[in-house]
Amino acid sequence: MPLLNLVVILIIVGVGLYLINRFIPMASSIKTILNIVVVVAVCVWVLQAVGLWGDVTNFRLKG
């Protein structure tokens, strides 16, 4: 995925999350949960987009 597409999608997600937090009335605990879910989903998506998600899911601790 080209870097420009990645940046544009991140900006769109950020603006969307800002608009939801700013203009849709909801309890602060629900906003916090929504923010965490969106951030985690975006992080996983970015890792998949750059090809690093396989490294994360195949990580093993040796002991």
The count of structural domains within the chain is: 1
Looking at residue 61, what is its pLDDT? 74
Does some domain include residue 33?
yes
Looking at residue 50, what is its pLDDT? 87
Range of the domain at 18: 3-56
Looking at residue 19, what is its pLDDT? 96
Cα–Cα distance for residue pair 40/8, rounded to 1 Å: 18
Which letter does DSSP use for residue 51 in this model? T
Does some domain include residue 61?
no
Does some domain include residue 63?
no
Cα–Cα distance for residue pair 61/43, rounded to 1 Å: 22
Looking at residue 63, what is its pLDDT? 64
Does some domain include residue 62?
no
Cα–Cα distance for residue pair 8/13, rounded to 1 Å: 9
> Quick one: 52 exposed, middle or buried, by C-beta within 10 A (0-12, 13-18, 19+)?
exposed
Does some domain include residue 43?
yes
Q: pLDDT tens digits for 20-54?
A: 999 999 999 999 999 999 999 999 999 888 888 87
